[in-house]
Amino acid sequence: MAVADHVDFPTFMEGVKKRNPGQTEFVQAVQEVAQDIFEFIKDKEEYHEAQILRRIAEPDRVVSFRVCWEDDNHNIRVQRGWRVQNNNAIGPYKGGIRFHPSVTESVLKFLAFEQTFKNSLTGLPMGGGKGGANFNPRGKSDSEVMRFCQSFMTELYRHIGPDTDVPAGDIGVGGREIGYMFGQYKRITNRWEGVLTGKGQEYGGSQMRPEATGYGAVYFMQNMLKHAGHDVEGKTAVISGSGNVATHAAEKITQLGGKVLTLSDSGGFIHDPDGIDQAKIDFVKHLKTVKRGRISEYCDEYKGASFHEGKRPWDVECDLALPCATQNELNEDEAKALVKNGVQAVSEGANMPTTLDGVKVFHDAKIMYGPGKAANAGGVAVSGLEMSQNSERISWNHERLGEMLTELMEGIHGKCVEYGEKDGHVDYVKGANIAGFKKVADAMLAFGVV
C-alpha cells in the first residue's frame, strides 16, 4: 500500500466542508472529533496509510425516500425520510429515528457519525446509524401518526434487519411510534424479530429502556463527581427539555438527593425554586406523553413556579447542568453564564447540545464536562441489551438491567478517564473521542480496503 500524504487538520476540515456543502451540523460534529483524533494518530502510520479518519467521516450509505400519507381531512401530505448508515465495522448499524420539522440530511449525518463513537464506547457490538423524517407529530391525531409511521416503514423495512440495522426512538419517536412501525414491519415481512428497540414490554421491549438515557446521563455525572471527590446529594440541577431524556434525568437526580430547578420545551422553560420532585415529574410525564401539552401548563398546576417564554434555562444558578433537549441549545454566552454562576459539572443527555464555542468555555474553566457521546450512551447500551434479549428469547428484570446500566456507565466513564486524563484533569471529550475511535478504527484496519 502506498503511504498517504499526511494532511494537516485544517486541510482535512476544508475537504470535509467542500464535500458536504451547507451541512453545518455534520461538519461541526466531524470537527469536534477530528481535532482530538489528529493528535492521537500523529505518530500512528497505519491509520494514515489506511485513510481511516477520511473513511469514518464518509457514511457507508445515505438512503433518502418519499413518505406519502393522508391526513384526517383527506389531504395528501408528502414528507422526506432518511436512514444514514454511517459505519458497521463493529456491529449492525444502530441508532434512533427522529421525527421533527428540523430534521435534515446534515442533522442525521451528524447524529449517525456521533453514534458510531458512542456505540463503540459502550463496549457492545453495535455500529452507528440514524434516521428520521421532517414530520412534526405535534398536533397530529393518533391515526395520522399511525398512517405516517406505516408509510415510513413501508420504505424503511427494506434497508433494516436484526443483523443489518436496528433503529430505535429519538426526538418525536417514543413508544407509540415504535409500536406502529414495528407492527408495520411485522406485517410486511411476516417475521417477528428484534428489528427495533424501545419496544413495548408486551412485545420484546427492555424493562429499563425508557429510563436508560436519562438515568445513564446522571450516572455519568455521578461518576465524574465521584472521580473528583464529590456527590450529587444536596446539589441543585438545571435541566432542559421535558421529553424522555429530561424527565428521567430529573427523576434520577431527585432519587440521588439532588434538587431539580428547571425543565423546558421549545416554547420556553419553567423555574421551580421549590424543586421538581417525583410527583411533579410524574405530572410532566403525563402532560407530555398523554395530554401532549406544553411545559408552560406546569405553572397552572404549581403556583410557586415561573414560566420564561422563548428562553433557555442556563442563566439559573446551579451546581449541575444537564442539557437534554436538542443540538446546539447551549451556546458560548450561556456556557459563560453557567461558569459564572458556579456550575461544577455538565452532563449531556442530548446529542451535541453545546456549541463548539460553549465546549471551549467549559474546557478553559476546567469544568467537569461529559459530552453526549459518552454521557447519553446508556440509552443505546440498554438497546444493545434489548437486542441480545430478543436474539436469545430471554428477558432480564428491571433490577438486573439497572445494575447492568450502572456498570456500563461506569465502564464508559473509565474509558474516558483512561484516554482523557492529564495532569489531574480529565478531558472527557478527548477521552470519549479516542476510546470510541480506536475500536472502530482497529476493526476497519482488519478488513483491509473496503
Active site residues: 130
29 exposure class (CB count in 10 Å sphere: 0-12, 13-18, 19+) = buried
Q: Judged by CB under 6 A, does residue 351 bind ligand NDP?
A: yes
Among 249, 325, 338, 416, binds ligand NDP (CB under 6 A): 325
Length of the chain: 450
First to last CA, the chain: 14
Q: List all residues 6 or more positions away from 309 whose beta carbon is below 8 Å from its beta carbon.
A: 267, 268, 296
Q: Judged by CB under 6 A, does residue 242 bind ligand NDP?
A: yes
Report the DSSP pairing between strands 306-309 and 268-271.
antiparallel
DSSP conformation class of 295 = G
Among 169, 205, 384, 420, binds ligand NDP (CB under 6 A): 169
Q: Judged by CB under 6 A, does residue 354 bind ligand NDP?
A: no
Q: Judged by CB under 6 A, does residue 205 bind ligand NDP?
A: no
- Considering the complex, state which of residue 47 and residue 269 has its C-beta at the smaller distance from ligand NDP: 269
- Considering the complex, state which of residue 229 and residue 310 has its C-beta at the smaller distance from ligand NDP: 310
Q: Judged by CB under 6 A, does residue 402 bind ligand NDP?
A: no
Choices 10-18, 34-42, 77-85, 323-331; region in contact with ligand NDP by CB under 6 A: 323-331
Q: Judged by CB under 6 A, does residue 266 bind ligand NDP?
A: yes
Which residue's entry shows cell 415510513? 152
Q: List all residues 6 or more positions away from 166 whose beta carbon is below 8 Å from its beta carbon.
A: 92, 93, 94, 126, 160, 194, 195, 196, 197, 383, 387
Among 81, 127, 128, 172, binds ligand NDP (CB under 6 A): 172
Q: List all residues 6 or more positions away from 444 whose beta carbon is below 8 Å from its beta carbon.
A: 50, 52, 55, 56, 89
- Considering the complex, state which of residue 266 and residue 341 has its C-beta at the smaller distance from ligand NDP: 266
For the CB of residue 449, give the shortest distance to ligand NDP in the complex, in Å: 33
For the CB of residue 211, give the shortest distance to ligand NDP in the complex, in Å: 9
Looking only at residues 78 through 137 of this chain, which bind ligand NDP when binding is defined by CB under 6 A? 102
What's the CA angle centered on 243, arms 376 and 201, to 5 degrees? 80
Q: Judged by CB under 6 A, does residue 213 bind ligand NDP?
A: yes
Axis crossing angle, helix 356-364 with helix 332-340, rounded to the nearest 10 = 30
Binding site for ligand NDP (CB under 6 A): 102, 169-172, 213, 241-246, 265-267, 324-326, 329, 349-351, 376, 379
